[in-house]
Amino acid sequence: MSRFITTRAIFLFLTISFLFTDATFSKNLNDPPSGWKAGVSRVVITPEQPMWMAGYAFRDHPSEGTVHDLWAKALILEDNKGKRALLITADIESFPKYTSDHIRNRLSAKYGLSLAQIILNGSHTHSGPVLQGMYNIYTDDPKELKKIKDYSLKFENKIVALTGEAIKSMVPAQIYTQNGVTRFQVNRRNNPEKNYLMQTDINGPNDYAVPVIKVTDVSGNLIAVAFGYACHNTTLSEYKWCGDYAGFAQIELEKMHPGITAMFFQGAGADQNPIPRRTVALAQQYGRTLAAATDRVLNEEMRKLSPSLTTLYSEVKLEFKKPMNKEELTKMINEETGYLKHWAEDYLNRNEKGQPIMSSYLYPIQIWKLGDQPIISLGGEVVVDYSIELKRIFGQDIFVIGYSNDVMAYIPSAATLKEGGYEGLTSQMAFGLPAAWKDNTETVIINEVLRLAKKAGVPQMK
């Protein structure tokens, strides 16, 4: 009798255990993934023929060769609820609105990604190609303009295909972030390049942070690193394709960690230059310096991010000051040369034809929150004051990215506007805008960042 009871008890125990295990297994199959997923991809975007280069108005002929290839790279992240965020970086001067809108519309149609889920960031190398939609201060040659149009379409196609490849490559992943530091940026408004070698003090505001995003597989093997710096990619001014210091930094990191994808994003560096400059050797030096700063962060303890993703996007209206009248434009045509004269002639022609002149511009602002890591992305060539102010509000651990989604002009702070100069006044003319921004520009942008940050749950400093 006791033997029968024992056998029966064992049978019941095994049956219950099997049912419990089976139910748990079935539940796990239906549960969302427990962690991040990530995928990366890359493609060469070096033009296949000589064409006009973006960034410097003084260039007077197309490119003449290549220092190293230009790249576009994609990092797709997915949280444990299946929400995605896509970071595209490229060795180009910028993403103008025309090209950016085309790409983002196609990514939305093909992959279901909203504006909030996409960051397009150009490294701001001045040794990359002109893209469709950039204000034409470069060439009027029909053959060269056709090259720009044809290349831009190929570029768009590559970005769309690149995204698909990144999505297909997604694997379970772990994500970490941390800020590093390096100090080769120089505030160009406060430190004239011609005097720099004689100076013993560097003046003006700076942000020396090196924001780093590390992506590994679940075993801890490095898959990708996305890193940034707030400094113009203007070490070089020749006629050869090159990613400048950012390109060399990516190359160096990929040598240090074979098989990874290294991606550079530009920060709020509109008034920051690498000084001294003008040689490939200096670009390589700055690239190695930035790579070393990034690698140091990768090899130290970093903040591990929980698999939750928030993405928000908005566009706010930035208004222009009163545009010049016919007399002022005519005077400028008679007194100026280069892009300033070209701009004045353009707007005088618009004026005489009675064409409407823009009074405002819709400016893109974006916030991502990866786990507890806030990333604030701003359009245009943002001066460093924005990064300093946002870090004062939200703390030093946030990441601030400029040159994202649409580069329409320099974005000066209130102080820069008051001081004037290229960043505060005449840069609008290089981008084809009708006038300088109104004095409330910084306030409008910061207030919208505050609104989005509150919605995203980004805490302010006490």
| pLDDT at site 271 | 93
What's the rounded Cα separation, in Å, for the pair 52 and 58?
12
How far from 207 is each of 341, 434, 453, CA to CA, in Å? 34, 30, 21
| pLDDT at site 201 | 78
| pLDDT at site 34 | 63
| pLDDT at site 125 | 97
The predicted model gives 306-320 an average pLDDT of 98
The predicted model gives 113-133 an average pLDDT of 97
| pLDDT at site 1 | 44
Pair 106, 156: CB distance under 8 Å? yes
48: pLDDT strictly greater than 90: yes
| pLDDT at site 203 | 79
Burial of 191 (0-12, 13-18, 19+ CB in 10 A): middle
pLDDT tier at 189 (50, 70, 90 boundaries)?
confident
Give the other-Cβ count within 10 Å of 258's Cβ.
7
Q: What is the pLDDT of residues 346-373, one digit of tens each?
A: 999 999 999 999 999 999 999 999 999 9
What's the rounded Cα separation, in Å, for the pair 177 and 215?
9
Tokens matching residue 98: 């025309």
The predicted model gives 265-278 an average pLDDT of 94
The predicted model gives 167-180 an average pLDDT of 98
What's the rounded Cα separation, in Å, for the pair 348 and 64?
35
pLDDT tier at 176 (50, 70, 90 boundaries)?
very high
| pLDDT at site 421 | 83
Give the other-Cβ count within 10 Å of 85's Cβ.
21
The predicted model gives 122-127 an average pLDDT of 97
| CA nearest neighbour of 128 among 165, 99, 85 | 99
Bigger pLDDT: 272 vs 15: 272
Three-state DSSP class for 269? coil
pLDDT tier at 187 (50, 70, 90 boundaries)?
confident
Amino acid making up residue 133: G
Three-state DSSP class for 224? strand
φ/ψ of residue 142, rounded to 5: -55, -35
84: pLDDT strictly greater than 90: yes
171: pLDDT strictly greater than 90: yes
pLDDT tier at 339 (50, 70, 90 boundaries)?
confident
The predicted model gives 221-238 an average pLDDT of 97
Residue ranges of domains in the chain: 36-314+361-456, 321-357
Q: What is the pLDDT of residues 395-435, one digit of tens each?
A: 999 999 999 999 999 999 999 998 888 888 888 888 999 99
**pTM of the predicted model over 0.85:** yes
255: pLDDT strictly greater than 70: yes
379: pLDDT strictly greater than 90: yes
Mean residue pLDDT of the chain comes to 91
What's the rounded Cα separation, in Å, for the pair 462 and 401?
23
6: pLDDT strictly greater than 90: no
The predicted model gives 121-150 an average pLDDT of 95
31: pLDDT strictly greater than 60: no
312: pLDDT strictly greater than 80: yes
The fraction of the chain above a pLDDT of 70, given in percent, is 93
The predicted model gives 129-150 an average pLDDT of 94
Separation of CA 11 from chain center: 63
What's the rounded Cα separation, in Å, for the pair 381 and 404?
9
26: pLDDT strictly greater than 80: no
21: pLDDT strictly greater than 90: no
What's the rounded Cα separation, in Å, for the pair 338 and 459?
47
User: DSSP for 243-265?
Assistant: -HHHHHHHHHHHHHSTT-EEEEE
